[in-house]
């Protein structure tokens, strides 16, 4: 087992390195890893469009929220789709098909009752079936690569390099329209919607019900902001919004997660100053939502985006500082 003393999450670091040169990475700590690798190698497309990562359940214990590892893997490589298994938990994110559909396929197979190998194989096959293919040959080259001989020099390397670049560019341009919501933001929105269901299921708690409604509204507004930015604003405004909300939404997700606000609402007796903590998170949720709505109005009016909300109260909590450190390290800050 990797040593936690050398890194915040050595499993994640190994996985990022692993998929940089291959499409399937199964951590050595995973039982039956070779059989999993062989089975997945038989179904994962060889064009590099899909990567599959399998990690032990322990890999998720040092992360700030459940989709953190998937988000890091998606950002680290150039695969259109990443499928992740951490223990028995299956996740997926994709730029080739709607990311919600990829996550749904993974979740449905997770609950199928099959063994992990069969769940992963089925997930790969279903996502592959949903993924549009580029026209022309599978290699992405209009015709065969013919080596050219000029002055006795064989230009095979140049021909192969050009073919590879063409294939890569085609893989990165799906036949369907790309989700206007950036992949990192989409992962946070998906996580918020998962948490919304948890809050809605808390019995007899008006605060939990209000939080569920607030999460739902924020998720919807975030999508609307990036949809409208894509249609009405320049790329620089979209990039600016992504940089602003990648940080803030991740902080908010960490605070809304099951081991913080949800635990505060269901077991306040186990926390010091629970009312103060609950108020901080609710204020942060409300403030970010208000700023998002203001930004949407600015986009509609063709004005530049203004950001004025700070979530320093959440960062000030020692329970959430580990998340801040991990986030900055993953972002290279």
Q: Answer yes or no: do 167 and 216 share one domain.
A: no
Model confidence at 318: pLDDT above 90 = no
Percent of the chain with pLDDT over 90: 42
pLDDT in tens, 229-278: 988 887 788 899 999 998 889 889 989 999 899 999 999 999 999 999 99
Sequence-ordered list of residues with C-beta below 8 angstroms from that of 33, at least 6 positions apart, any chain: 26, 27, 54
Statement to judge: residues 74 and 169 lie in one domain: no
Check residue 9 and give its pLDDT: 79
pLDDT classification of 326: cutoffs 50, 70, 90: low
- State whether 196 and 279 are in the same domain: yes
- The pLDDT of residue 290 is 95
**32 within domain boundaries:** yes
Residues 33 and 74 in one domain: yes
Q: Are residues 19 and 110 in the same domain?
A: yes
Q: What is the CATH number of the domain that holds 105?
A: 3.10.310
What pLDDT digit, counting tens, does each position of 211-232 carry?
Answer: 999 999 999 999 999 999 988 8
| Rounded distance between C-alpha atoms, residue 15 and residue 228, angstroms | 35
- Report if residue 43 sits inside a domain: yes
**pLDDT recorded at residue 261:** 94
The 10s digit of each residue's pLDDT in 35-60 is 999 899 989 998 889 999 999 988 87
Q: What is the pLDDT of residues 146-174, one digit of tens each?
A: 343 434 443 344 344 444 434 443 444 44
For residue 65, is it within any domain? Answer: yes
Same domain, 24 and 140: no
Query: 173-182 pLDDT, tens per residue?
Result: 444 447 789 9
Q: Given this model, what pLDDT does residue 162 score? A: 41
Domain membership flag for residue 178:
no
- Residue 316 and residue 243 share a domain: yes
Residues 22 and 120 in one domain: yes
d(C-alpha 10, C-alpha 310), whole Å: 31
**Number of structural domains the chain divides into:** 3
- Asked, for residue 237, whether it belongs to a domain, the answer is yes
| Residue 17 is assigned to a structural domain of this protein | yes
| Mean of pLDDT values over 22-39 | 91
The pLDDT value recorded for residue 163 is: 46
Q: Which domain does 146 fall in, by range? A: 134-173
Q: Are residues 143 and 212 in the same domain?
A: no
Which H or E element spans position 220?
Answer: helix 206-232
Flag whether pLDDT at 189 surpasses 60: yes
Res 8: pLDDT = 66
pLDDT, mean of residues 278-282: 95
Asked if residue 286 is part of any domain, the answer here is: yes
In sequence order, what are the residues at sequence separation of 6 or more whose Cβ sits closer than 8 angstroms to the Cβ of residue 63? Answer: 9, 12, 69, 326
- Residue 102 reports pLDDT greater than 80: yes
The β-bridge partners of 38 are: none
Residue 18: pLDDT over 50: yes
Q: Are residues 75 and 9 in the same domain?
A: yes
SS3 82: strand
Statement to judge: residues 11 and 94 lie in one domain: yes
Same domain, 96 and 141: no
Between 47-51, 117-121, 319-323, the lowest mean confidence (pLDDT) is in 319-323
Element (H, E) at 44: none
Question: What's the rounded Cα separation, in Å, for the pair 23 and 46?
Answer: 8
On the question of pLDDT at 98 being above 80, the answer is yes
Q: Inform me whether the pLDDT recorded for 13 exceeds 90.
A: no
């Amino acid at each position: 087992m990797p040593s936690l003393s050398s890194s915040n999450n050595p499993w994640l670091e190994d996985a990022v390195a692993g998929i940089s040169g291959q499409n399937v990475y199964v951590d050595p700590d995973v039982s039956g890893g070779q059989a999993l690798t062989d089975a997945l190698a038989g179904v994962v497309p060889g064009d590099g469009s899909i990567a599959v990562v399998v990690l032990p359940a322990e890999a998720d214990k040092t992360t700030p929220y459940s989709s953190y590892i998937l988000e890091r893997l998606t950002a680290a490589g150039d695969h259109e789709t990443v499928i992740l298994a951490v223990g028995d938990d299956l996740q997926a994110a994709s730029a080739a098909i709607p990311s919600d559909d990829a996550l749904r396929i993974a979740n449905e197979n997770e609950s199928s009752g099959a063994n992990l190998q069969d769940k992963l194989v089925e997930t790969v096959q279903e996502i592959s079936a949903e993924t549009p293919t580029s026209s022309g040959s599978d290699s992405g080259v209009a015709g065969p690569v013919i080596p050219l001989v000029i002055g006795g020099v064989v230009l095979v390397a140049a021909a192969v390099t050009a073919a590879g670049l063409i294939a890569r560019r085609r893989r990165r341009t799906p036949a369907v329209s790309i989700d206007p919501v950036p992949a990192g933001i989409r992962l946070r929105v998906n996580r918020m919607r998962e948490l919304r269901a948890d809050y809605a299921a808390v019995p007899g708690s008006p605060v939990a019900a209000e939080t569920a409604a607030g999460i739902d509204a924020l998720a919807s507004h975030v999508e609307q902001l990036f949809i409208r930015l894509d249609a009405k604003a320049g790329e620089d405004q979209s990039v600016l919004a992504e940089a602003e909300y990648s940080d803030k939404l991740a902080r908010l997700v960490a605070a809304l997660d099951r081991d913080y606000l949800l635990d505060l609402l269901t077991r306040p007796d186990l926390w010091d100053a629970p009312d103060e903590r609950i108020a901080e998170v609710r204020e942060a949720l409300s403030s970010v939502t208000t700023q998002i709505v203001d930004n949407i109005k600015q986009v509609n009016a063709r004005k530049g985006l203004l950001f004025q909300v700070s979530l320093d109260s959440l960062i000030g909590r020692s329970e959430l500082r580990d998340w801040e450190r991990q986030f900055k390290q993953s972002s290279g800050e």
